[in-house]
Amino acid sequence: MANIDTRYRLAQAEFMDACSVHWKAQKLGTFRSILSGVVAAIVGFALLFFIFWLAVFLLAFTGVLFLFIWFRSLFWRWTFRKARRYNSDISLSFGEDGILEETAEGKVDLPWDSYSAYLDAPDFILLYRKRNGFTPIPKSAFSPHQAASLLELLKRKLKKIG
């Protein structure tokens, strides 16, 4: 099988969309977190005059949850701006032995066992590394034939999430 090659550059909005897909896959989606916070706040206010300590706990939980959502977004935006790899073109070459990745940080040949899983989302493919997060790849970086070939290769090499 011939290698599947692509070259792309991520915009910050695309990166944040990929992060949102990742959070949803990890059951930490923003909507779910906000809904949990709203429910905790409503229950907390309802209990305010009956079980004061539980009400305070639930209201504090709501505040921490909303701070977490806000901080997570700020942190990943800061990560995007600081990461040299996302501020230039990214070249990937997928083959039977692994992935050759070339970014502003350098060139690295990663065997398949460096990855643990992949996620096939509508606009992205996320490749999960065993040690440090995921690599977002926009599907727009591939032709329809390349995308189908890549997904077939990923099915053979990695566990699918979702």
Alpha-carbon span 139 to 74, nearest angstrom? 25
| Pairing between β-strand 115-120 and β-strand 124-129 as defined by DSSP bridges | antiparallel
Instruction: Give me the phi and psi of 77, to 5 degrees please.
Output: -65, -40
CB-based contact 62:56 (threshold 8 Å): no
pLDDT in tens, 10-24: 999 999 999 888 888
Task: Indicate whether 156 pLDDT > 90.
Answer: yes
Number of Cβ within 10 Å of residue 64's Cβ equals 12
pTM (two decimals)? 0.79
CA-closest candidate to residue 98, choices 154, 59, 143, 38: 154
Give the tens place of pLDDT for each residue, 103-140: 988 899 999 999 999 999 999 999 998 876 888 999 99
Q: Can you tell me whether residue 142 is helix, strand or coil? A: coil
Q: What is the pLDDT of residue 1?
A: 64
Looking at residue 89, what is its pLDDT? 92
